[in-house]
Amino acid sequence: MRLIQISDTHVSASHHFFAANLEATANWLRSQEASLFIHTGDLGMDAAGQEVDLYASRDWLAGLGAPIHCVPGNHDVGDRAEINSRQPVNDDRLGLWRDAIGPDRWLMDQQGWRLIGLNAMLLGTDHAEEEAQYAWFEKALETDLPVALFLHKPLFIDAADEPPRGYWSVAPPSRQRVMALMRSARVKLVASGHLHMHRQQVVDGISYVWCPASSFVCGESQEELGGERRLGAVVHDFGVDTVESQFLRPDGLDDLKIEPVQRILYPR
């Protein structure tokens, strides 16, 4: 089974600074043969702030001509209040996502693998859906199949026991709870987005893969996190009990940085 993962398209209804990269990505995806396509969040530029960006994202996805399974990012449904007090995860944002895009968490069994999509943006929010998702996740892990997990924010940057990494990863209490649940199953892959960089590392037998963005990379506004700041995608090839992931670079991408237009796109 071959699965293609993209992330962080940041589609905008009103700004088109990265439109050529999105066009190149869409063209490349349309030419690919894969069993599945997955998007690990930040579909929209500011979909958590303006619905039109969510609808523009939905339209962009529809143009790919193949179903793509998505999990939400902070720019789609908001974040923990201590990270972004203006755009907390709430019922309205979750409802808009579900209406426009689909479920924010999902599982599917495909060719001997259980694939799970988790809404990372609920983690640490104390929203009622957070507990519901933990209960759902526990059940989702009740399988003899090897498991691949997809979510927007990485569980950690360098180590599972590291202190909080603020905006960049899941906060430690939620991370520990997710990872404790993971230990009940044969999790082989945890694939995330959010960082706009690529890296792969194996920790305790699990492959942690950062999928790069399709839109822009971060320059000086992002601290050094250890990944490669290049646009692209990730192809996951699943065997009987193993998965191999490789970075791929669609033709026509330009590693544009966010900083020159950051104040225009995110004036707050």
The residues of the shown chain that bind Fe ion, judged by CB under 5 A, are 8, 42, 73-74, 194
* Spatial distance between the Cα atoms of 127 and 121, rounded to a whole number of angstroms: 10
Q: Which residue in 228, 222, 214 sits closest to 262, CA to CA?
A: 222
* Spatial distance between the Cα atoms of 114 and 97, rounded to a whole number of angstroms: 24
- Cα distances from 191 to residues 14, 57, 171, 210, 253, in angstroms, run 30, 21, 17, 6, 22
Least gap, CB of 208 to Fe ion (angstroms): 17
Burial (0-12, 13-18, 19+ Cβ within 10 Å), 169: buried
Least gap, CB of 251 to Fe ion (angstroms): 22
Q: Are strands 199-203 and 113-117 parallel, antiparallel or unpaired?
A: unpaired
> Please, which residue, 8 or 129, has the CB nearer to Fe ion?
8
Least gap, CB of 215 to Fe ion (angstroms): 7
> Please, which residue, 1 or 261, has the CB nearer to Fe ion?
261
> Please, which residue, 194 or 236, has the CB nearer to Fe ion?
194
Whose CB is nearest to Fe ion?
A: 42
Structure tokens at 243: 């998965």
Identity of residue 195: L
- ∠ CA 153-89-128, nearest 5°, is 105
Q: How many CA atoms lie within 13 A of 91 on its CB side?
A: 1
Least gap, CB of 168 to Fe ion (angstroms): 9
Least gap, CB of 163 to Fe ion (angstroms): 20
Least gap, CB of 9 to Fe ion (angstroms): 9
> Please, which residue, 84 or 110, has the CB nearer to Fe ion?
84
> Please, which residue, 39 or 188, has the CB nearer to Fe ion?
39
> Please, which residue, 74 or 245, has the CB nearer to Fe ion?
74
Identity of residue 14: S
